[in-house]
A and B are shown apart, each in its own frame.
Chain A
Amino acid sequence: MGKKYWQHFAEINDPENLDKFSKDEFADELPFESFDAGVLTDAKAPRRDFLKYLGFSTAAAALASCKMPVRKAIPYANKPDNIIPGVAKYYATTFVQEGEVLPVLAKVREGRPIKIEGNEKYLLSGGGTSARAQASVLDLYDLYRIKYPQQKVKDKFEEIPTFEQADKLIADAIKAAGGETVLLTSTIVSPTARAIISSYPGLRHVQYDAISYSGMLLANEACGFGKKIPFYRFDNAKVIVSIGADFLGTWLAPVEFARGYAQGRKIQDEKNPDMSRHYQFESFLSLTGCSADIRATHRPSETGWVAVSLLNAVNGTQSPSLLSDKKLEETLKKAAADLLANKGKALVVCGSNDKNVQIVVNAINQAIGAYGTTIDWSTPINTRQGLDADMEALIADMEQGKIGTLMIYGANPAYTYFNSERFKKALERVKVKISFSEKMDETTSLCQFIVPTHHYLESWGDAEPYAGCISFIQPTIYPLFKTRHYLSSLLKWSGNNKDYETYFREYWISKLGSEEELNKALQDGVKINPSASGSSGSFNGSSVSQAVAAISSIKPATGDELVLYQKVSIGAGAGATNPWLQELPDPVSKATWDNYAMISVKKAEELGIKLDINYEYYPHKPVIRLKAGNKEVELPVLVFPGMNANTIAVALGYGRQETLGATASGVGKNMFPFTSSNGETISYHAAGIQIELLDKKYKIAQTQKHNSYENRKEVVRETTLASFKKHPNVIPEFSKELKEAFYEKSKGDFRSHATLYPDPDTRQNEIHWGMSIDMNACVGCGACVIACHAENNVPVVGKSEVMRYHDMHWLRIDRYFVSDDKNPDDLKAVVFQPMMCQHCDNAPCENVCPVAATNHSQEGINQMTYNRCIGTRYCANNCPYKVRRFNWADYTGADSFPDNQDQKLIGKLDPAVHQMNDALSRMVLNPDVTVRSRGVIEKCSFCIQRIQEVKLKAKKENRKLHPDEVKTACQTACPTQAIVFGNDADKNSQVSKVRAANALRSYHVLEQLHVLPNVTYIAKIRNTEEEDHHWAEGHEEPQHADHGNKNQQHQHEGH
């Protein structure tokens, strides 16, 4: 038995066939026509025709280029003083979506926002962002936004020409309707919005969150803290136990939590290594579970029992075991022991929406001294306040016809409510229905009036993500469409004639003291008011025994269970309309453009799904029918290790209606109908599920197997803390051995051996760019991938093209499972490895390019010149890291020939690709980066445009370059600061310091190939006592350069 790093089951179950299949570049047969004798002239494209077309197109191209088009240059009529064309400005604002509130900066070029950056003044994120915050700038330019106020006339929406008319129509309608007026929103975090809503005469305000945290709110109330959610300080925790909380991906405030978490996960002192320990108890393999040191799975229905068992173990109470699984029991005991050993430095979080479970979790936190240390009650989180009971009451009132007017902002119950049919019926009884939605979502299309609100990048506003922290929103662009801030509408209808901007200014000037103070706050983006934070509260354990009793009385479930989760990209559905997010491979499954049923290896065996090469290699996946009560759905299946045997996990947020646009419609299945209510709170799991394998296949576009390393080692370096302590020098020794082997051959000249280029050491060496990626800190959230998309104009290719291995991500995050090579289901760890161009100083891609379109710069960058590339793809074939991307089709519409996108041979591109090429969507493009046309290779450039910009800035200011001045897009986006970039020739740069501080774990991927990459990775350490023999053996016999060459040749023969 040995440890194995693997990406899909075929590597373990069917290695011979996999090797054979990996030789082909693509899974599909290539559409070559047969060359039988005599049929050449009858072929679809005979040679003569081909030559005719060739001649004609050459002549046409030559003729076309003889006449240059007349281009206009239109300056401003009155240039605003603060705009210099070509120079970007950054404005502080706040991303607010589906309960995620994140202070950000918007990069604005010539008046259009094109990129989101984190706000470093917001210390809790430290400038980090999430994938959805990064992608939000594309939502601004969404073709399918609602462009003007509308009213429904005979089931069809018609434009209302002016807002005045709309105001009059609506005022009359509200008056005529009588009854109660209700504003239904998602959680309101804006202080001004709260003030406006409360001053609206007779308005009832109901907050409803698509993903409910009612259980927590009620539990905290029962424990004496009030209906609030505290702030969790993961940075203070030495031991973290999560019971199904995806706190690194989607739970509460993932960016802030991930940053705090990473501080404890990074090893500060390698000589004396220490890091926090993370236990995860969950039913399926979640993003957060992937980062855990110790994981145990349980049935979703057992969540309460897990919490109670942990409480008992922490309290030392002897009680009959409720759990059947031995391993689970043992892990819980171990976790309890660790929690107790680290009192005051321990934290338990739980993702359940059940009040009783959360009360038990609170009791555990009280027992381990978490309150006041790792749980901060002085700054409660405001982003989730919706109570399921309020919504229930509202629907009951609607059904009884008590509600005359329903205004809806930020909520979409017709899609997200567990009993959406009931909601829709109840909605019919409401006389006046007004939606403020930006998009034609499921609820909005049932409304009668639509008064669309602005995108956050177009509007004023404020948000209070946690008590005492105000984050401001300011417009970065004039509203693109005829929209109005929903608060302006509310102000108007409540009889206040101020517009929201005036109200906002007056409100904050009076709060902050002066206009200067407000302007300063707007400039900074965030304003912390320490005195505004609340009291810390104290724990009241009176409800615990009742909660324990309630949980213990639940009977164990049998059969299969369903758990519904959110993806980092789509969330509860807000990301579904965003092409970047749809194409972001899910961190765990690496699947794009779909939701699917995640099932366990055992369940696959039961269903008779063979995990062989046929399952893994082709996109066609088996389909199951999933039944719960009277609801059923057909879903494709993906099999994962480390799942609870009887749990099936499916993502929410898919299966949207057509009006939301080409990107969202027809993608995945809606799983909200499978959520349920226990009378008090909504639950996101279900027992008593029946599944049935259908005789059907469905294609899923997964990216993980696209790039094969052809069994080369070592790509991933990972071990346990115990093994690392015992054998700290494994990596440096490996490196040393390699070097010595080279020294013999290259007569002592290690670096310059085997290169066609001038000796790298003779290049000027004052600036040399390098990157370090800490795999201990990387949680796989995907923010960097989207940041790279936005910064570098990386095209969206659509599902059909991803399936053909044509995905264009410059930066991908490889996911590796770690297990025994015999027992893949016994998942030990998951490693995320962000992989991009390694900018090798001895790059194998450079010397195979016949036209020198890719070559090396003095500053250590592997340059790619699109306009010189003729598309031989030799470089991509010779790249050991498989990071070069080829434009197989005209994804961007940048070709010189119009209408070149849908072709017979290429096939039709997906509608989402065309949406990205619309003039409106193209406004998001970064004007400093070439939009690549068909037939050229592209890849990570280390954000060369940023490097050039910063160098020019230094020159303009007549000063030296600061070592950490240049920051790549992936680096600034990363919430855990796992990616560090800088001038590694300067010993004072952060990248040099990080490499020096982590010298025992820093390594190059495939170092033995001697390609001298400029990206170093820091090996991942799991905090367990387990002995890792694979690591202790050190490694396999170091492979020398000629071994690598052999491999390369091997690869060439394959093609």
Chain B
Amino acid sequence: MSNSKILQADIKISKSKDIRSLPGFSWFTLSFFIYLYLPLMILVFFSFNSSSSATVWEGFSIDWYFKAFANDDIQRATKNSLIIAVVSTFFATIFATMAALALSRNRKIKHKPMFMGLIILPLMVPEIVTAVATLTFFSTIGLSLGIGNIIIAHTVFCIPFAYMPIRARLQSMDKNLEVAAQDLYANKWETLRLITLPILVPGIFSGAMLAFIISIDDFIITLMVAEAGSNTLPIYIYGLVRKGITPEINAISTILLIISIMFVTLSYWIGKKR
């Protein structure tokens, strides 16, 4: 199947949208996005507060942005968080894709429920238990890789989050396409590269996104597993709630938000160009 064919399908879909779209769904989606973004608007609003409270408005100022940029601890923590999230997402998504393909396409593999259970195991265990268990285990085997310890722990619990959407995608995929390709003498790898993977892309994309947001927001496991010098942003923020969150945190969150919006716009733009 070529790209142009997919494109044709798209055009056809967009022309005949009336058949698939349901009344009220677009309004519903719009209100959903308002619900999703309401807390963020408040957050951005208070990053411009002139007083040191993130909840009581006292006037406009951009001081907190300068303070956030001058705060070494915040910068170090943000850098650590981003590195950990990117690397763990990368590995977790690759592993999850391989596993999803193997478990739904490779007939030679036995005991599939067992493997499936193993892969989603990290989901089933309460975080604090994983945290304590992993810490105990790491110190028993003497694993000490600094930030690497956190990356390993994050990769493990990101795997099921990446796996689920990819698997859902594979299940709703028309297996006849692959059979047809093989009928046309495509070998296993060609089928994978030319048919399965391209169709799988939305699943992989969703999975990677889930893994990323899970990693960048993790607190308990990271707190336990972290070694000296590897504070992450969530650890920093959780500590601050004792004294009350200052707009400095809102400022750094706003900056992260802008980065993510830039990232989204960029990928939208690239996608459109292609």
Pair from one complex = no
Mark A residues whose CB is within 8 Å of B: none
